[in-house]
A = this chain, B = another copy of it.
Amino acid sequence: MVTRLRDREVVTLTADLVILTIREGELCLLLVERANEPFKSRSALPGGFLRAGETIEETALRELAEETSLDGLPLHLEQVGLYSAPDRDPREPRVVTCSFLAIAPNLPVPVAGSDAHAARWVPVRDVDRLTGGLAFDHAAILADALARARTKLQYTTIATAFCAPEFTISELREVYEVVWGVEVDRPNFHRKVTDADDFVVPTGKKSSKGTGRPALLYRAGTARVLHPPMVLPAAPESVVDG
């Protein structure tokens, strides 16, 4: 069968971002309020349209820069999946979106919303209670990105992307506890992280925050895979795209 032109549907492509960070011990997500129809004034993931000459990754990075004040920070950005249900967006031409998982350190400024729409950090566990829920299929996109983040904490070093350039082992442990929602044994975590090959490297400096013994400061190492992996107690049914 020869492919005929009428078999192809032209679409517009968007990049939608699940931008995660940790604020005050809570896993938070950046949401915007939609300024236009469809789903006007509903909460949605930040995102935008692919422009001529750019890759979808460049679209995602551009939107990320517009929504947050991160510039050259040690950011993690990865594709999660393509969402293409024909009825996911009523606009014409059809809108298909590529979702991205972005992980950011806690930003001092809540959000520098340069656009008209209000951008804000929302605790992930409060998302269900948003009036009307998320726009489009963004609830499903969020769930998949969260699952990806949770599994990737196990086998990769992305946990450091939640931290400032210099961080303590306890801050890194908090990442696991907050994202997984479980307690992690402090002494064993310390050993495991410092023993792992190039996960974290000591800076020599100390933290000196508040009471208690000052913690040593570390920065992220060059390792991308975590060997051996960090395993969470109960088996997580959280392997995405499978």
Q: Which residue of B lies closest to A1 (CB)?
A: B115
| A176 CB to nearest chain B CB (Å) | 17
Given A1-B115, A115-B1, do A156 and B242 touch, yes or no (CB 8 Å)? Answer: yes
List chain B residues, Cβ under 8 A from A152: 242
User: Does A155 sit at the interface, judged by CB under 8 A?
Assistant: yes
List chain B residues, Cβ under 8 A from A85: 55
Interface residues of A in 211-240 (CB under 8 A from B): 224-225, 227-229, 231, 235-239
| A38 CB to nearest chain B CB (Å) | 13
| Contact across chains for B155 and A241 when beta carbons are under 8 A apart | no
| Contact across chains for A224 and B241 when beta carbons are under 8 A apart | no
User: Does A126 sit at the interface, judged by CB under 8 A?
Assistant: no
Complex CA distance for A236 and B226, rounded to whole angstroms:
10
| Contact across chains for B13 and A12 when beta carbons are under 8 A apart | no
| Contact across chains for A11 and B50 when beta carbons are under 8 A apart | yes
| A60 CB to nearest chain B CB (Å) | 10
| Contact across chains for B239 and A156 when beta carbons are under 8 A apart | yes
Q: Choose from B13, B48, B56 the contact partner of A3 (Cβ within 8 Å).
A: B48
Q: Which of A74-82, A127-135, A163-171 contacts B (4 or more CB under 8 A)?
A: A74-82
List chain B residues, Cβ under 8 A from A239: 155-156, 224-225
Complex CA distance for A215 and B116, rounded to whole angstroms:
67
List chain B residues, Cβ under 8 A from A10: 10-12, 93
**Would you list the 8 A-B pairs with minimal beta carbon distance, nearest first?**
A8-B49, A56-B84, A227-B235, A9-B52, A10-B10, A78-B241, A55-B84, A82-B98
